[in-house]
Amino acid sequence: MTKIQQQPQLIIRTKAVGELPRLVRKAGHQCVVITDSHLRSKANELSLEIKKAGLPCSLLTVPAGEKSKSLVVVEELCEALVKTGLGRDGVLVALGGGVIGDLAGFVASVYMRGIPFISVPTTVIAMADSSLGGKTGVDLASGKNLVGTFYPPMAILMDPTLLETLPDREFKAGCAEIIKHGVIHDERFFTFLEKNRESILARKPALILKMLKQSAKVKLTIVGEDPREALPARPNSTNRSRMLLNYGHTIGHALEKLSEYTLPHGEAVAIGMIEENRIAVKKGILTKDAATRISTLIENFGLPTKLPKEATMARMKKLIARDKKKVGSSIYFALPTGIGSADLFPYDLA
């Protein structure tokens, strides 16, 4: 079996997807592409290219949407992999957004105790966030991503040409994760997003590439210091915890669950950042001016900024209590302390 790399090869460039047949051959002797119903045509194209390179390749498709991130679908995919004849010398290719990346990565981590996989993200949110860092997972009825593994792909291919047909709403939603990276780690990057917002939303290739590269750099820097997201030893820990990447997500995940996953992840995170900024301002760790600057950028990217009416305090508190970041009776919020810095703060749920 090909050894699974701990640090994935990251290729960010136009037409990077052309590297796929070479990487598949490097990873194994047979291949299965996992995608969703929206991307079947593109997946067929890639499967044909892999076959032209002389490798057997099958295609498995799941319904598009968050509901496919379930243990039921994991079992169905594993059974389907057996039927394709995929063995331990095989490789999976995850073609899609965050749902497919999380799902196929989890399948790769458990099928025959682990086989290599290659991630080909097709959305901004997957390129900026979910394809990086090695997290995989599926949802339970109780909440999002409650079952998963740390299992990095052997390679990640970020190809901006795959974003050309992405709907505007999805493109903007992905930008929420990119804004998050600027807020928690890199003020210069945040300023870059402010100055180049119009060109980014116009999808100018040079700026998209620059944005993706810098966003990936921020995430991988933080992940590199805490690969497995260790729980904080004490409040206000000064270590660079990976949990800082959860800024906007504690409230965001609760909003997704509340909406039964009809609210896109990026939009939920955008609202989550606004609401978590309110907590930071109330705690006196973030100035009102900084909070306003962040909310202005979020709004200027066409993202929502207000809680839905059904998000009552009681309902939100109940959902937040199920979050993975709960330690004892406290939930740890990743809160900005300025633009370009953040820290962890406990919130007592009792």
Active-site entry in 181, 185, 246, 267: 246
Give yes or no: 135 in active site. Answer: yes
> What is the spatial distance between Cα 169 and Cα 166, in angstroms, rounded to a whole number?
8
**177, two tokens:** 């994760």
Active site residue 203: no
- Considering the candidates 69, 172, 181, 249, report the single residue annotated as catalytic: 249
Quickly tell me which residue has 């892999």 as its tokens: 50
29: annotated active-site residue: no
- What's the DSSP call for residue 291? H
Residue 194 is a catalytic residue = no
Q: Kindly name the residue from 49, 76, 194, 229 that is annotated as catalytic.
A: 229
Greatest extent of the chain over all pairs of C-alpha atoms, in Å: 61
56 in helix, strand or coil?
A: coil
Structure tokens at 114: 């682990």
Choose, from 3, 113, 234, 282, the residue flagged as catalytic. Answer: 113
| Active-site residue, selected from the candidate residues 19, 42, 69, 135 | 135
242, 257, 324, 325: which one is catalytic? 242
Is 239 a known active-site residue? no
* Dist. CA 7–CA 154, nearest whole Å: 7
1: exposed, middle or buried (C-beta count within 10 Å: 0-12, 13-18, 19+)? Answer: middle
> Active-site residue among 19, 66, 170, 177?
177
Are 141 and 232 contacting, i.e. CB atoms less than 8 angstroms apart? no
Q: Which among 69, 181, 265, 324 is annotated as catalytic?
A: 265
Active-site residue identified among 181, 253, 257, 324: 253
Contact 237, 344 (CB under 8 A): yes
- DSSP H or E segment with residue 92: strand 90-96
Tokens of 285: 């760790």
Q: What are phi and psi of 113, to 5 degrees?
A: 65, 20
The phi and psi torsions of 25 (rounded to 5 degrees) equal -60, -40
Report which of 92, 170, 93 is spatially closest to residue 125, judged by C-alpha positions: 170
First to last CA, the chain: 49
User: Is 38 a catalytic site residue?
Assistant: no
Is residue 246 annotated as part of the catalytic site, yes or no?
Answer: yes
Residue 180 three-state SS:
helix
Neighbouring CB atoms inside 10 A of 282's CB total 9
Active site residues: 113, 135, 177, 219, 229, 242, 246, 249, 253, 265
